[in-house]
Amino acid sequence: MKLLMKFGGTSVADGECIMKVARIVADQAKKDRVVVVVSALKDVTDQLTESLERARDGDEKFVQDFIQRLTERHLTTARKAVGSEVRKEVELAIKALVSELERVLMGVMYLGEVTPRSRDYVLSFGERLSIPILWGALHSLGLKARHHTGREAGIVTDSNFGEARPLLDVTKQQVRKRLGPLLEEGVIPVVAGFIAADEEGVVTTLGRGGSDYTATVIGAALDVDEVWIWTDVDGLMTTDPKILPSAKRIPEISFAEATEMAVFGVKSMHPRALEPAMEQNIPVRIRNTFHPENPGTLIVKEQKIKPGTVVKAVTLVKDVALVTVSGAGMVGTPGTAAKVFDILGRSHVNILMISQSVSEANISLVIRRALLKKAVEALRGALLGRDLIGEVTAEKDVCIVAVVGAGMRGTLGVAARVFGAVARRGINIRMIAQGSSELNISFVVKEADGPKAVRAVHEEFKLSELS
């Protein structure tokens, strides 16, 4: 087989974890051709984001302390994971990268400004620092490997910094040209996830779920047999085990169902990361780095509905906010919704959920909470005082509960069971959305009621009894 194996931040959290990853890769490489995609060490991307903001604010001491901590963490990780024969080479690569990062952060500090381009450049250092360490660990086990950034691997994107999209035709061509021969020679390509470059060679990042996206893009380009996403859970779960310990692993799920799920149990994965694999019908498997004997969850094209199974999963989406645009002037006025969506689109605010009453007097939207202030200011600035919109209101203390399953399609009474179970727990529903696919019923409740609503639906459909 030809496999793409992607390891997330928890899988490469420290030297011991990277040694475990290297052994997993080595065992698989005995029988299959393997490409590896790796994320930054756990929490490093968040730390880089904070260092960027502190540099912009002129906090030189924080930047210097951060650089020292970052250097020591990666050197310590390398000393544990990499054998002595290539350790010096890995250490030199780490020191050179951190030195480059320090110069960039000092430049940000002196300018007092962070641009989308400079942000992507700084965030790229997380993966750029992790790939030489995993390369060294593989080399120490006697494997032939070569490490690449996303740009070096051939991933070309547009210039939408922070949420860049791969230009798939040119990317596939470049990836095949650069990585294909390595596989034929028995060399394991180790590729940095999340980062790429635009057509001018400027570093870009792929946004949320970026490393998973890197994995499926490269997997599609090389026409692999399967893409394996290694994380810290046993697969996709019927719900988050932290909410309900009796949650069960889902052995198999369709791409359509997986795309409908905003989060997979405790494992987040952006639906767009599935697109390249879905288009070429390449199965994606979610596996646990720390329990490699577990087969995980297989995501496939065909929807298999087990008799008696209506719902497969109940997920909770946190860190969201509810925005409601209302006004009598909206009634019967064509293009009102288009104006709202255009304003948010130009402000780079993605809409997670939409609901509009037949009266046309209001439109409710759910967005990421971090974008709430930007969204409300944009809507009020563009719409208020024009005899169309009377009010723009916002609520922060909400969450989304999403109920997913192919068995829901055409099954009578599913919504009644969902909302009845929630009502019996005394939970008020603020907003509801269901598409014509009938694969997903999503509703908004107060944040404090979210876990209780998840448990109610999970118990109603007896998901803990599924096998």
CATH number at residue 367: 3.30.2130.10
Final residue in a domain of this structure, among 200, 232, 264: 232
Q: Are residues 199 and 322 in the same domain?
A: no
Task: Give me the DSSP letters along 75-129.
Answer: HHHHHHHS-HHHHHHHHHHHHHHHHHHHHHHHHHHHHT---HHHHHHHHTHHHHH
d(CA 298, CA 288): 13
Within-domain flag for 273: no
Does pLDDT of 87 surpass 90? Answer: yes
**Structural domains in the chain (count):** 2
Mean pLDDT of 442-462: 96
Final residue in a domain of this structure, among 174, 209, 232: 232
pLDDT of residue 265: 44
DSSP state of 264: B
Within-domain flag for 356: yes
Q: For residue 313, give the nearest of 241, 265, 243 by alpha carbon.
A: 265
Q: Are residues 227 and 325 in the same domain?
A: no
Q: Are residues 147 and 24 in the same domain?
A: yes
pTM: 0.85
Average model confidence (pLDDT) across the chain: 92
Q: Are residues 199 and 98 in the same domain?
A: yes
In angstroms, what CA-CA distances link 177 with 116, 172, 181?
30, 8, 7
What share of the chain has pLDDT > 70, as a percent? 97
Domain that holds residue 360: 313-465
Spell out the residues 6+ positions from residue 249 whose beta carbon is closer than 8 angstroms to its own: 234, 235, 236, 237, 238, 294, 296, 297
Beta strand extents in 206-338 (DSSP E only) = 226-231, 252-254, 284-288, 297-300, 313-326
pLDDT in tens, 104-144: 999 999 999 999 999 999 999 999 999 999 999 999 999 99
Final residue in a domain of this structure, among 209, 232, 255: 232
- State both tokens at 259: 């795309």
Q: Are residues 185 and 79 in the same domain?
A: yes
d(CA 261, CA 404): 7
Helix and strand tally (H, E) in the chain? 15, 17
Q: Are residues 208 and 61 in the same domain?
A: yes
For the chain, give percent helix, strand, coil, nearest 5.
45, 25, 30
Q: Are residues 74 and 165 in the same domain?
A: yes
Q: Are residues 214 and 321 in the same domain?
A: no
pLDDT of residue 267: 55
Mean pLDDT of 223-241: 91
pLDDT in tens, 288-322: 999 999 999 999 988 777 776 889 999 998 999 99
Q: Are residues 209 and 331 in the same domain?
A: no
**Residues 48, 123: contact at Cβ < 8 Å?**
yes
Within-domain flag for 173: yes
pLDDT-based confidence at residue 268 (cuts at 50, 70, 90): low
Q: For residue 288, give the nearest of 17, 14, 16 by alpha carbon.
A: 17
Q: Are residues 172 and 27 in the same domain?
A: yes
The CATH number of the domain holding residue 148 is 3.40.1160.10
Within-domain flag for 211: yes
b/e for 400-421, b at 16 or more Cβ within 10 A? bbbbbbbbbeeeeebbebbbeb
pLDDT-based confidence at residue 415 (cuts at 50, 70, 90): very high
Q: Are residues 204 and 318 in the same domain?
A: no
Within-domain flag for 328: yes
pLDDT-based confidence at residue 266 (cuts at 50, 70, 90): very low
Within-domain flag for 405: yes
Within-domain flag for 238: no
Q: Are residues 208 and 331 in the same domain?
A: no
Within-domain flag for 411: yes
Mean pLDDT of 53-59: 95
Strands 391-404 and 313-326, bridge-based pairing = antiparallel
pLDDT of residue 148: 98
pLDDT-based confidence at residue 259 (cuts at 50, 70, 90): confident
One-letter amino acid for residue 279 of the chain: E
